[in-house]
Amino acid sequence: MIQKYILSLIMFGIILISGCIQDNQNMNDVSVSDLINNPQSYDGEIIMLSGVVVKNTGNFFGSTYQLAVFENSKSFDINNAKKIAFKQQNSYMFNMSMVVSYTYDGRTYTEKEYKIFTFRGTIHYIGEVIDDSSFYFEAEAVMDNV
């Protein structure tokens, strides 16, 4: 009886660990270009994205915070970087203003402090809209500061 119980616990542990490993592998397999071009296929997915946070101070519409993402940090140009909108409100987990690297007044980017962060969060596809992105990234955690 005890042996069956122990065997059941071991099997449960193996299944749990393999599921966690699979989830982590899926989070790292996101192409930024594919995400931007086909966001509906990532709706509800938990992913990890790295980049710098931009606070839009001059926009009347759209997200206040965006993540400027890049494939290669050595050739990063804020003006040409692909940007992904964060959820409108700050996450209950952390204050987004603490991780801002750039501000954007509608014309120019001003560097505040260049900090690259990796965020873990969920993609939410909302459909085509006139004044904002068709999807947003709801950051749930800051994984690290590169």
DSSP-assigned states of every residue in 31-84: -HHHHHH-GGGGTT-EEEEEEEEEEESS-SSS-SEEEEE-S-GGG--TTT-EEE
Main-chain dihedrals φ then ψ at residue 66, nearest 5 degrees: -135, 155
Domain co-membership, 53 together with 74: yes
Domain co-membership, 23 together with 48: no
Q: How confident is the model at residue 4 (pLDDT cuts 50, 70, 90)?
A: low
Any idea what the CATH number is for the domain that residue 43 is in? 2.40.50
Domain co-membership, 43 together with 109: yes
39 vs 19: CA distance, rounded Å: 24
pLDDT for position 139: 86
Question: Residue 8 pLDDT more than 50?
Answer: yes
Q: How many domains are contained in the chain?
A: 2
Domain co-membership, 82 together with 16: no
Domain co-membership, 25 together with 35: no
Domain co-membership, 92 together with 116: yes
For 72-108, the pLDDT digits (tens) are 656 678 888 888 888 866 555 567 888 899 999 888 9
For 101-135, the pLDDT digits (tens) are 999 988 899 999 888 888 899 999 988 877 778 88
Domain co-membership, 14 together with 53: no
Domain co-membership, 125 together with 57: yes
On average, the pLDDT of the chain sits at 78
Q: How confident is the model at residue 3 (pLDDT cuts 50, 70, 90)?
A: confident
Q: How confident is the model at residue 44 (pLDDT cuts 50, 70, 90)?
A: very high
pLDDT for position 129: 74
Range(s) of the domain holding residue 8:
1-29
In the chain, pLDDT over 90 holds for what percent of residues?
A: 19
pLDDT for position 42: 93
Domain co-membership, 91 together with 128: yes
Domain co-membership, 76 together with 111: yes
Find out whether 109 and 52 touch, Cβ atoms under 8 Å.
no
Predicted TM-score (pTM) of this structure: 0.71
Domain co-membership, 103 together with 119: yes
